[in-house]
Amino acid sequence: MLTLPNGVRLSFGNIIAMAGDYYGKPDAPIINHLCPEKIDDGALQRFKNAYNDLAVTPNEGKYKERLDKLLKLLAEDEQNAEKPGKCFHSDKEWDGATGGVWVAGIPIIPGTLLKLAEHNYDHFAPQAKTAYVVGHGYAIERGREA
């Protein structure tokens, strides 16, 4: 278990599962999609902003509610992964856990999940490699400080 700066204790797997898909800055991807293989001057700050969304935001109120819902969904899907015939949670449930509102199976107000997916340049090639380099560099920097 890792303890984030806001006191939240998460497994490495939980962090990997949530960072970028459920936590981040939808209007500020780490990588500039117009120059996907170049790390521009703002990339590190955009990574820090996305990291802070998960790791620094105080664990209270809506943040705590959202985190608790996501951890519950992750745990249930992990348990169901080994059971034949069990379904995983739907996009509606995942997006709802991040603030989305759906009516009759249609997202009316997108949650963070759908907002991040709309501009998800950081998760796909060739941008994914560049986003990783930015984040890994920051992790090394933080490790040296520890």
User: What pLDDT shows up at residue 34?
Assistant: 83
Query: Token digits for 11?
Result: 């497994």
Structural domain tally of the chain?
Answer: 1
User: What pLDDT shows up at residue 98?
Assistant: 95
What tens digit of pLDDT does each residue of 68-104 get? 999 999 999 888 888 877 778 999 999 999 999 999 9
User: What pLDDT shows up at residue 59?
Assistant: 94
Domain span at 24:
2-145
User: What pLDDT shows up at residue 69?
Assistant: 96
User: What pLDDT shows up at residue 145?
Assistant: 87
User: What pLDDT shows up at residue 105?
Assistant: 92
User: What pLDDT shows up at residue 82?
Assistant: 82
Q: With a cut of 70, which residues of the chain have pLDDT below it?
A: none
The model's pTM is 0.84
User: What pLDDT shows up at residue 127?
Assistant: 82
